[in-house]
Amino acid sequence: MKKILVITFIILFSAASYAQYQPTEEDLKHFFTTKTYVVLKDNPLSDYNFEIEEVMKNLWDMTDYDFIKMEEFPEKSQNPDASFLYTSLVNFEKDRTDSRYVFLHLSLGGPNLTMDDLKDLVSVPLGYVGVDEENYIYKLGVLVQFMQKHVKLMNEKPEIISNNVFNYYNKNIESAHSKRLYILKDELESEVNTTKKIADIYPYEVKLAAREEIRQSVIDQDEEVVFLHKVGPEGKKMKARCYKILIGAGDSDFYYFDYHMVNKKKPDRFLKSDFRKLAR
């Protein structure tokens, strides 16, 4: 995939980024008439390919869809009646850390558009470049579900396209208090890496879960579970962004979004300060 340059960190949703294409009401209405092409990775044995095929079969309900190889993408992307679900490498203009991330995009095609400037409807971070796919593969289903819900939401409430979308979803923080928070122990900073330490700050139910437990909660669409999706360098780089998103395993809603720059004082982990924000 070609590298995409963006100007600001606010790129989880195209509607929240002045640097990316901002979808119009007409774009959103048109999307539901398109055929969505899911771009597979070049490696035929990629875990991503197997997982996204299952996700589309079981969860996709917005448009007709088909799978294409990467080599077909440039030609297909010229079709204004096509939409695309694909991954790309993203880095940030003016980012001196030269960090790169893997993002999942849902975009519209069109004549004279390159793969770098398709009309993005929604994008979410999957992982840091070079980090094993296993860190995010098991979350693909709920992330794709979120993207579907977000596009439907923008179509129903176009006024949120120009608003701060993070504030829209962060209003769900209090609702997370009634759910079980699943979080990997190795994604917590040392000050909050036990349930006892967490309970001193966040007096709601938290489970230090295994990846398989989180995956199962997604498969079961467990309405009682919210889990952490963390995107960071995982030791690949000292200075980079660490994204922290809490997602409902059953409803696919975002309950919390934040990020910080990784440094000696703020490791590539969910922080004590995050729990303080959640507890409010």
Q: Two tokens at 104?
A: 């999942």
Alpha carbon of 124 to those of 34, 71, 85, 192: distances in Å? 21, 23, 11, 26
In this prediction, residue 95 carries a pLDDT of 63
Per-residue b or e along 18-27, where b marks 16 or more CB atoms closer than 10 Å to that residue's CB? eebbbbeeeb
Q: How far is CA 155 from the centre of its chain?
A: 19
Q: Please report how the helices 140-156 and 47-59 are oriented relative to each other, as an axis angle in degrees rounded to 10.
A: 50
pLDDT at residue number 245: 95
| pLDDT tens, the chain, 280 aa long | 344 444 333 344 433 332 456 889 999 999 999 999 999 999 888 899 999 999 999 999 999 999 999 999 989 999 999 999 999 888 766 666 677 889 999 999 998 777 777 889 999 999 988 888 888 999 999 999 999 999 999 999 888 876 667 778 888 899 999 999 999 999 999 999 999 999 999 999 999 999 999 999 998 999 999 999 999 988 776 778 899 999 999 999 999 999 998 988 999 999 999 999 999 8
Q: Which helix (H) or strand (E) holds 257?
A: strand 254-261
**Res 96: pLDDT:** 67
Q: Which residue, among 151, 148, 152, 130, has the nearest Cα to 140 in the 3D structure? A: 148
Strand (E) or helix (H) holding 219 = helix 211-219
- Map out the domains of the chain as residue ranges: 3-161, 169-279
> Hey, is 253 helix, strand or coil?
coil
What is the pTM assigned to this prediction? 0.88
Long-range contacts (CB closer than 8 Å, 24 or more residues apart) made by 200-205? 201/272, 201/275, 201/276, 201/279, 202/275, 202/276, 202/278, 202/279, 203/279, 204/176, 204/177, 204/178, 204/278, 204/279, 205/179, 205/180, 205/181
Q: How far apart are CA 258 and CA 262, in angstroms?
A: 13
